[in-house]
A and B are shown apart, each in its own frame.
Chain A
Amino acid sequence: PHLSTFHGDFQTCKVQGAWPLVKNKFLLVQVTNDPVTGESSATATSKLTVVIKKNQDCAIEPYLMYQAQTDALPGAFHDGHTHYGPHKAVELLEIEEGKHVEIHIRYIATTIVVRQIGRYFTFAIKMPEEIVNSTKGDSNSGLCDRGCPAHERINYQEYLATRHKKIDNLKEDSAIKVQMPRSDAEGICREAKVVDFYFDSCVFDLMTTGDKNFTLAALSALQDIIKLDPSIVNSQLNRTDFRKYDKTFGN
């Protein structure tokens, strides 16, 4: 999947299996990434678990769990509650049944957004910098803080720059096959109005899987992050081409 970290890094990773995304004294978010069906070796998130740790004063005991799996995005926590504590200190909102939920943890001013698009999940979180920084450098803190391990990363810029020229020669390359030509993918992603890293991700996903659900996933991910932090719009470059990558990796 594609990861935008708390520290502004953008990565495309393999991370197959179970990985922690966020891990601190208040919260644990873990995802499971499975191979995408079909011929592609790509993986995507098929299971997501949020564990809100004990907080006696705000009515969570001994912990509170939310779990979503493909085709089961519940509108409640595991015990059937949708909110806990005084003035809904913790609240789960079902925005669209089976497709979109939000979890608000008010005593740590944190919002989590989970969507199911196609068979896979998108995840977004907004958390105070103080809490994020409390685990900085901790080797167990999760992908959102540390990014993906180096050996799990895919150089998506190189992939985007080089694969589109080699479509005819890729049959023997079983690692990452191209399911859609880059030019077609670019057209679809431009039309979807995704930009910058989300444009890269959109084109990458179409090229690797051919599944247009990932276009919507990239668009939703961008919209969610803008909703969580509207100021992000100011830092957008609105880039929808790969000239920079072609120049760097084209040869």
Chain B
Amino acid sequence: CDIDTCAKQFQRLQSVENGVMGPDKECITLRTYWNCIKKKVRDCKGDLNYLTVRTGVKNRMGQNNCSKNGRTLGPEDEKTSVPTIPSVCSYHGKKVYKHCGLFGD
């Protein structure tokens, strides 16, 4: 159960992104930590340290109103109406597609 790699990743992200990411920074770094912890669940089942860290991160995410799916919740969220998709964020070209794949050895 190698939970330390998640802590190191979290610390590295905190130091790298310090002052760069704006108000969402805390949530982004915590979410990365959370995603890393989630991936360790199989190896860490029943590990007390793992459970402690996981609870700690979950609590911190809750304190910061961080969602787990990549969006920071705020008090304004419920008030805001559904935004219109900017035209540039939709694809307007011909819906004819090409495919590519890479697999195997």
Contact = CB atoms under 8 A, between A and B. Distances in A.
Interface residues of A, number: 68
Given A57-B88, A86-B89, A131-B93, A79 B28 contact: yes
Interface stretch (A106-114, A158-166, A167-175): A106-114
Given A123-B102, A218-B103, 10 more contacts: A58-B89, A76-B35, A79-B21, A79-B28, A80-B30, A83-B70, A124-B102, A130-B96, A202-B104, A229-B99
B71 A205 contact: no
A220 B103 CA distance: 9
A7 B105 contact: no
B43 to A, nearest CB: 11
Interface SS of chain A:
mixed
A51 interface: no
Contacts of B100: 3-6, 21-22, 123-125, 127, 144
Interface string A89-130: 100000001100000001111000000000010111111111
Interface of A: 1-7, 21-22, 31, 36, 40, 42-45, 55, 57-58, 74-76, 79-83, 85-87, 89, 97-98, 106-109, 120, 122-132, 143-144, 201-202, 204-205, 208-209, 211, 214, 217-218, 220-221, 224-225, 228-229, 232
Interface SS of chain B:
mixed
Contacts of B104: 1-2, 44, 120, 122, 201-202, 204-205, 214, 217-218, 221
A126 B97 contact: yes
Interface of B: 13, 17, 21, 27-32, 35, 38-39, 69-71, 83-86, 88-91, 93-105
Nearest to A105: B91
Contact of A130 (B32, B38, B89, B93): B93
23 contacts: A1-B105, A2-B103, A6-B98, A6-B99, A6-B100, A22-B100, A57-B86, A57-B88, A80-B28, A80-B29, A80-B30, A80-B35, A81-B28, A87-B83, A109-B93, A123-B102, A123-B103, A129-B96, A130-B93, A209-B105, A217-B103, A221-B103, A221-B104
B35 to A, nearest CB: 5
Contact of B101 (A82, A106, A202, A224): A224
A218 B103 CA distance: 7
A148 B70 CA distance: 37
Contacts of B102: 1-3, 21, 31, 45, 122-124, 143-144
